[in-house]
Every structure is written in structure tokens, then in C-alpha cells.
Amino acid sequence: MAHPGSTSSTRYDSAARQLDKAVARTGAAARGTVGLVAVVAAVLGAVPPVSALWLAPMLAVDLAWTVLFLRLAWRREPLPSWLVAADVATTVVLCLAQRHLVAREALDTGSSWIAGLVTMTVVVAGATWLPKISVPAGLAVAGAYLAGVRLASPSHDVTGTLAIHLVQILAITVLMTLLRRSAASADAFLRESAHAGIALMVERRRREDELRQVSSIHETSLHTLTMVGLGVYDEPSPVLRGQAEADLATLEGLRDAPRAVTGPIALDSLLEEVAGRAAGLEVRRRLTPQTVPEDVAEHFARAVTEALANIALHSGVREAELVSSRWDGGIRVEVADRGRGFDQHRLPPDRFGVRGSILDTMRSLPNGGAEISSGEQGTRVRLWWRP
């Protein structure tokens, strides 16, 4: 198991996380491509007053960042904030040094290689950071570009260029805000759907357990009536009276039992079904038969579902182990794998799976709890509850 984060209708992968991955890959590839084009354009356009002493080191720095972006795009890794910040700083320096790096004709037409880098830097910053950071960063880049143009050509009109840059900053900010809100709404819907699916599974198991109890009582009562009909009890019998009272008490208990949260559930049967729904995993089970209240069963089911999903998505292995046992007067359930581990203390805040669907789920249960241990030998999730 590794970082959290679909195995069945009861599990989802974070839409926000998928959005971040897609934006990071696209942004890195676009920035890398534009960086290469800029280097070629800068070399081809190196005519006076372009200074080779300025151009060579500046292009070397830009080429280094370009290679880093292309590497991230190739390996499909997220964009680190430090790289984006360094790119913003590099672009600002390039903008301020335009009089040494760009020919006058390119400045006048707004087609310089630095102009392309400015646009891409604004887009990458807006796609990576929230507006409270990306907007000031974009304005800083745009301001540096305009300052550099005026230093190189004091008579140049920068009004049109400023308007274009403001539109770019506004457009990427609005677009990413809408996409992030949509992803958050999708995650909220998927979480509710996952919880509803588990609740339906739990309710079906509860009904099955209830029907088994009713069937057992029916057989016992029928046996008692048969014995009476055959004349086995031809006079008042303490045994007969005791059996009838026990049957009546059980029936009344079923009638009066609240249906919302206290119905009994065979936890081993429920976990068996959860394990069977873990797509892409072979789950070895050692489940001890035991019955728990409905809300307890649902908490266990949600946590185990998330743990198995994380193994399938991130551990790099296709085998897992699911064990339930009686422990210290309560119940303990363990989910383990032998895949690559992770450091849960370094998980980003948006990684809902470990915190929300495992730790918080079990810790919100009275007398319940959870802990996760992970390392080179794999990951083990321990869940427990005491009545």
C-alpha cells in the first residue's frame, strides 16, 4: 500500500488527485516543449544588440529547467512547487534582461522567444498553485516583462501587451478554479456513493442474519408445538413452559429491536463480501465468526474497503491478507500486504483515503481505533473495536 486514494462500487479514486496528475503532466510537457522552442529561437535570433555573454548563461539556465520539466512529464511525476517557483524567478530575470537577449525587431512585434516563456510560466503557475499565489506570481512575471521591454525600447507601447497578460492570468485562474471545484464536487458525490453502497451491503447482511434468526425460532417453535400435538406433554411441564417463554422473548426482541443502527451483523460474512469485491487483488482470508452491531460493521467495512483499494492502486503487489480475530475483549481486523510502503506523515492534505476512510472512520466509532505501520516489508492496517 502506498498513497491513498476503483475497486468496486464502494470505492473511488480521488477526482482532485486525478486532475492534479493530468494538469501536472500536461503543464510539464507544454513547458518543456516551449522551452526547447525558445532556446532554438533565441539562438537563431541572436543578432545585435543581443549579447552572447548574456545569452549563453541565460539559455543554459532555461535549458536546465526545460530538461527538468520534460523529465517530470516523461515520468508522469507531479510538479514540485520549488520547480515552479524557480521557473517564475528565472522568467522574471529573463524579462528584465531583454535588452541584452532579444533583437529590437522581435520586441516591436511582440514575437520574442521570451514572450512565449512568459505565457507558459503564467499558465504553469496558475495550474499548479491556488489563486492567492498564482495571481501575484503571474502579475510579477507580466510586470517584469513590461519593465524589460521599456528598458530595451523606451518608446514601445506596452498597453496591448499588458492587456493580453492580464487576460491570460484571469483565464487560467478562472479555469483552474472551476476545474478544482468540479473535482471537489465529484469527490463529495463519490464519497457519498461509496458510503451508500456499503450501507446497502450492511443492511442486506443484517436482513439475512435476521431471517436466519427467525428461521431458527420458527423451527424451535414448530418443534415445541409438534411435541405438544403428539401428546409428549400430557400435563404441565416446566421444560415446555421455559421453552415457550424463551421463544416468545426472542420474538419480542426481534420486533422491538431498533432497525437503524443496532441490528446484528455477521462481520465475517460482510468482510468476506468486501474482500470478494476487491478487483485486481487476491485476498487471503482468515475470518473468525462474530456478530457486531450494524454501525460497527459499517465502520469496519468502509475501512477495509479503503485499505484493500490502496493495496490494489499503490502497493505494486496483487496479494493481500485479511484477518479478523477476537482480541482483548473486542474485535481486531488486520489488512496487510508485502508491497512498497509509504510515510503516512508526509501525505498531502488531499489524500482522503488513509486519514478519512481508515483512521478517522474507526476513531469516530466509540471504543474503536486504527493504526497503520508501513515500511520496506509492506504495510499493515490494524482496526479494532470493543463493545
**Average model confidence (pLDDT) across the chain:** 79
Strands (E), the chain: 264-266, 282-287, 291-293, 319-327, 330-337, 368-375, 378-385
Output 163 or 343, whichever has higher pLDDT.
163
pLDDT in tens, 170-190: 999 999 999 888 887 876 766
Of 4, 383, 9, nearest to 190 by C-alpha is: 9
Q: Region 4-14: what's the mean pLDDT? A: 41
Please give the Cα distance from 352 to 350 (Å, whole number). Answer: 6
Domain spans, the chain: 15-187, 259-387
Class of domain 259-387: alpha beta
Question: Residue 223 half-sphere exposure, CB side, CA atoms within 13 Å?
Answer: 9
Q: Could you identify the residue written with the cell 529561437?
A: 41
- Above 60 in pLDDT, residue 11? no
pLDDT in tens, 25-65: 888 899 989 989 988 888 888 787 788 888 889 889 888 88
pLDDT in tens, 73-130: 887 777 888 999 999 999 999 999 888 888 887 777 777 889 889 999 999 999 999 9
Contact status, residue 301 vs residue 270, Cβ threshold 8 Å: yes
Contact status, residue 298 vs residue 351, Cβ threshold 8 Å: no
pLDDT in tens, 310-321: 888 778 888 999
Q: Which SS3 state, helix, strand or coil, does residue 138 take?
A: helix
- Above 50 in pLDDT, residue 219? yes
Output 272 or 259, whichever has higher pLDDT.
272
Q: Cα Rg for the chain, rounded, in angstroms?
A: 33
Task: Quote the pTM value.
Answer: 0.57
- Above 60 in pLDDT, residue 353? no
Output 230 or 62, whichever has higher pLDDT.
62
The pLDDT value recorded for residue 270 is 84
Output 353 or 41, whichever has higher pLDDT.
41
